[in-house]
Amino acid sequence: MDFLTLTLELFRNADHFIMYIAQTYGWWVYLVLFMIFYSETGIVICAFLPGDSLLFIAGAAAAAGALNPWLLIVIISLGAILGNTTNFYIGNWLGNKIYDGSISWIDQDALRKTHDFYEKHGGKT
């Protein structure tokens, strides 16, 4: 199965994707799951990945005996926690640069207006 077909299978038939990776590549399925959950929470542009539905499918695969449930819990938790931490530090670094004016393509006037709007109407929005 080539990479494009495998990627499409992740979005169309995630259950077949997990079972195929587990049967064909063995323990590599844990690395694939780690990378999916890490990327979904750690890299902002990867939020489209099917992490939430993949949790149920991975659990079903573990119940069917294709995956070790304890290792699955550790791998998914570690991927989500490390991804969240990475995303926090990226946001902290980038946020400071946005607000201090280091990034020239950000309109500081528009940023100030947006900040004031959320300060005034933040609870409603």
Distance CA 99, CA 35 (A): 31
pLDDT reading at 15 higher than 80: no
The total number of structural domains that make up the chain: 1
Query: What domain range is 40 assigned to?
Result: 3-121
pTM of the model: 0.72
Name which of 24, 52, 15, 25 is nearest 36 in CA terms: 52
Which helix (H) or strand (E) element contains residue 73? helix 69-99
Q: Per-residue pLDDT tens for 36-50?
A: 899 988 887 777 777
Q: Per-residue pLDDT tens for 80-119?
A: 999 999 999 998 888 888 888 788 888 889 988 998 999 9
